[in-house]
Amino acid sequence: MKGRFDRIVRCSQDHLYTSIVIPGASLKSLRLGNKRYQHCPVGKHWALTEFVDPSTLTPGEIEEAESVHDIRIP
Protein backbone atom coordinates (compact mmCIF):
# COMPACT_ATOMS: atom_id res chain seq x y z
CA MET A 1 0.00 0.00 0.00
CA LYS A 2 1.33 3.40 -0.95
CA GLY A 3 1.82 5.70 2.00
CA ARG A 4 1.75 9.45 2.32
CA PHE A 5 5.54 9.81 2.11
CA ASP A 6 6.15 7.21 -0.63
CA ARG A 7 7.70 8.51 -3.85
CA ILE A 8 8.79 6.77 -7.02
CA VAL A 9 12.51 7.11 -7.69
CA ARG A 10 14.81 6.05 -10.51
CA CYS A 11 18.41 5.07 -9.89
CA SER A 12 21.32 5.88 -12.19
CA GLN A 13 21.04 2.38 -13.67
CA ASP A 14 17.39 3.08 -14.65
CA HIS A 15 15.76 0.91 -11.97
CA LEU A 16 12.39 2.11 -10.64
CA TYR A 17 11.23 1.59 -7.07
CA THR A 18 9.40 3.30 -4.24
CA SER A 19 11.12 5.06 -1.36
CA ILE A 20 9.95 6.84 1.77
CA VAL A 21 10.75 10.54 1.51
CA ILE A 22 10.22 12.85 4.47
CA PRO A 23 10.78 16.52 3.65
CA GLY A 24 13.81 17.89 5.49
CA ALA A 25 15.01 14.47 6.67
CA SER A 26 17.64 12.12 5.27
CA LEU A 27 17.75 8.98 7.37
CA LYS A 28 18.78 6.49 4.70
CA SER A 29 20.27 8.57 1.91
CA LEU A 30 22.74 11.34 1.28
CA ARG A 31 21.19 14.39 -0.37
CA LEU A 32 23.13 15.93 -3.26
CA GLY A 33 21.05 18.81 -4.62
CA ASN A 34 17.96 17.37 -6.27
CA LYS A 35 19.44 13.85 -6.26
CA ARG A 36 20.13 11.39 -3.49
CA TYR A 37 22.73 8.68 -3.03
CA GLN A 38 21.05 5.60 -1.65
CA HIS A 39 20.83 1.83 -1.90
CA CYS A 40 18.81 0.53 -4.87
CA PRO A 41 16.81 -2.53 -3.79
CA VAL A 42 16.26 -3.59 -7.41
CA GLY A 43 19.90 -3.84 -8.52
CA LYS A 44 21.23 -4.23 -4.96
CA HIS A 45 23.79 -1.46 -5.46
CA TRP A 46 24.41 2.12 -4.28
CA ALA A 47 23.50 4.79 -6.82
CA LEU A 48 22.38 8.34 -7.42
CA THR A 49 18.60 8.50 -7.50
CA GLU A 50 16.06 11.12 -8.44
CA PHE A 51 12.34 11.52 -8.00
CA VAL A 52 10.12 10.60 -10.92
CA ASP A 53 6.88 12.36 -11.78
CA PRO A 54 4.35 9.49 -12.00
CA SER A 55 2.53 11.26 -14.85
CA THR A 56 5.60 10.59 -17.06
CA LEU A 57 5.41 6.82 -16.46
CA THR A 58 3.30 4.12 -18.05
CA PRO A 59 0.90 2.15 -15.84
CA GLY A 60 3.31 -0.81 -16.10
CA GLU A 61 6.25 1.29 -14.90
CA ILE A 62 4.21 2.58 -11.96
CA GLU A 63 3.23 -0.98 -11.04
CA GLU A 64 6.89 -2.04 -11.34
CA ALA A 65 8.04 0.81 -9.09
CA GLU A 66 5.38 0.16 -6.48
CA SER A 67 6.18 -3.56 -6.36
CA VAL A 68 9.65 -2.87 -4.89
CA HIS A 69 10.13 -0.70 -1.81
CA ASP A 70 13.39 0.21 -0.18
CA ILE A 71 13.85 -0.34 3.55
CA ARG A 72 10.93 0.73 5.69
CA ILE A 73 12.79 3.09 7.98
CA PRO A 74 12.32 5.82 9.40
pLDDT of residue 71: 76
- Number of helices followed by number of strands (H, E) in the chain: 1, 5
Q: How many CB atoms lie within 10 A of CB 42?
A: 18
Is residue 72 helix, strand or coil? coil
Query: In angstroms, rounded to a whole number, what is the distance separating the alpha carbons of residues 70 and 3?
Result: 13
Average pLDDT over residues 2-11: 87
**Largest separation between any pair of C-alpha atoms in the chain:** 30
pTM: 0.82
pLDDT digits 0-9 by tens, 17-59: 999 876 666 667 777 777 889 999 999 999 999 999 999 999 9
